[in-house]
């Protein structure tokens, strides 16, 4: 278990380094609001869609495709979304509900979840985790667009506008283009994949620097109770419900552990990028990411320890 703890630290520590780097650069005046706005838009509209495209294209869908596992994960994610939304109606002011819900159900599966699954289960964890992350990204983005469109001031919330937001969302377009390429194993030119990789590798550093540049102690204090509530839902209550459900549905050992790691991952950096893009409370989104990433070091390890103690994994 200590090895898993070390692995969790090694994955989350660089995230905090980049966050504090963004905070420091903003304090030094090396980046400003204009840079953050431009960089966030670049991540949302270009680098992150390319990153998602490459992640799916490079996964072996035919080998690692497990319909039951994927179906359960999508179903559990939808239930988590609805539970978080119901809780937000009681816990949050209306203007913050979309950000709260997104922070509570949208996990950092592509970074934290996948890395931990690979660390624990090697090639099997990498294959299953890659496919799981790729497929559910589509679900994450559709649900996020819906809830943000309803509550964000910069987005129209009628049905046609929501559908239009979904089909024109760059992240969804990236995933939709990647799935047929990966499934039929279409060969793309090596130079194109290498160039796309260079471009995509900017995604996480840029996103985290923008989040760090947005952070302030005053904003963190102002949103701390809502951010903590969303983080606890993301790391404790929803993983508890969904992992128990997975056990009741018959998932065991590696499959159950991988599901837990994905359910219990901290909030994804993409939630900040999307919140900022639609004019929602991006400071709250940043606070949720910071708090959930910090707490995940404790909650993920305690969850794995409990599951091992009762013989589930």
pLDDT in tens, 220-270: 676 678 999 999 999 999 999 999 999 999 999 999 999 999 999 999 988
Instruction: Report the range of poorest mean pLDDT among 80-94, 110-124, 164-178, 254-268.
Output: 110-124
Q: Is the pLDDT of residue 57 over 80?
A: yes
Q: CATH topology for 2-309?
A: Na+/H+ antiporter like fold (1.20.1530)
Residue 134 scores a pLDDT above 80: no
Cα separation, 103 vs 285, whole angstroms: 7
Pick the residue with more confidence: 2 or 292? 292
Please report the pLDDT score of residue 308 as a whole number: 84
b/e map of 236-245 (b: 16 or more CB within 10 Å)?
A: ebbbeebbeb
CA distances from 105 to 1, 80, 85, 199, 309 (A): 26, 6, 9, 28, 26
| CB neighbour class for 24 (10 Å; exposed up to 12, middle 13-18, buried from 19) | middle
Q: If pLDDT is split at 50, 70 and 90, which confidence band does 219 have? A: low
Average pLDDT, the chain: 87
| SS3 (DSSP) at 267 | strand
Residue 192: what pLDDT? 96
What torsion, rounded to 10 degrees, do the Cα atoms 178, 184, 189, 195 define? 20
Q: What is the pLDDT of residue 62?
A: 65
Q: Which residue has the tokens 């589509």?
A: 138
Query: How is residue 278 annotated by DSSP?
Result: T
**Which comes out higher in pLDDT, residue 180 or 91?**
180
C-beta neighbour count of 299 within 10 angstroms = 19
73: closest CA among 124, 136, 117, 118?
A: 136
Domain boundaries, the chain: 2-309
| Tokens (6 digits) for 167 | 């089909």
More confident residue, 51 or 229: 229
Can you give the pTM of this predicted structure?
0.84
Is 1's pLDDT higher than 60?
no
Q: Which of 57-61, 155-159, 160-164, 297-301 has the highest mean pLDDT?
A: 297-301
Which SS3 state, helix, strand or coil, does residue 269 take? coil
Quick check: 163 pLDDT over 90?
no
pLDDT in tens, 281-303: 998 999 999 899 888 888 998 99
In this predicted structure, what is the pLDDT of residue 102? 96
Residue 177 vs residue 162, higher pLDDT: 177
């Amino acid at each position: 278990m200590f090895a898993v703890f070390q692995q969790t630290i090694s994955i989350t520590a660089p995230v905090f380094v980049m966050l504090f780097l963004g905070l420091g650069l903003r304090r030094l005046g090396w980046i400003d609001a204009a840079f953050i706005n431009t960089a966030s838009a670049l991540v949302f509209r270009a680098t992150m869609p390319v990153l998602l495209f490459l992640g799916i294209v490079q996964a072996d869908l035919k080998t690692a495709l497990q319909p039951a596992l994927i179906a359960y994960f999508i179903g559990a994610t939808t239930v988590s979304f609805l539970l978080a939304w119901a809780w937000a109606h009681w816990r949050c002011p209306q203007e913050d509900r979309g950000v709260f819900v997104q922070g509570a159900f949208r996990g950092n599966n592509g970074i934290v979840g996948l890395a931990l699954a690979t660390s624990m289960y090697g090639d099997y964890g990498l294959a299953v985790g890659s496919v799981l992350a790729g497929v559910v990204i589509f679900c994450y983005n559709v649900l996020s667009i819906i809830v943000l469109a309803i509550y964000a001031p910069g987005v129209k919330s009628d049905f046609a506008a929501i559908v239009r937001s979904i089909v024109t969302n760059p992240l969804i377009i990236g995933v939709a283009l990647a799935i047929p390429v990966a499934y039929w194993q279409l060969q793309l030119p090596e130079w194109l994949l290498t160039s796309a990789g260079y471009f995509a590798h900017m995604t996480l550093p840029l996103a985290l620097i923008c989040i760090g540049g947005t952070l302030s102690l005053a904003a963190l204090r102002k949103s701390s109770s809502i951010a903590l509530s969303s983080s606890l839902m993301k790391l404790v209550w929803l993983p508890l419900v969904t992992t128990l459900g997975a056990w009741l549905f018959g998932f065991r050992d590696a499959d159950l552990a991988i599901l837990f790691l994905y359910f219990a991952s901290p909030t994804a950096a993409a939630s900040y990028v999307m919140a900022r893009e639609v004019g929602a409370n991006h400071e709250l989104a940043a606070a949720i990411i910071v708090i959930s990433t910090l707490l995940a070091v404790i909650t993920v390890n305690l969850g794995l320890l409990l599951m091992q103690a009762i013989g589930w994994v």
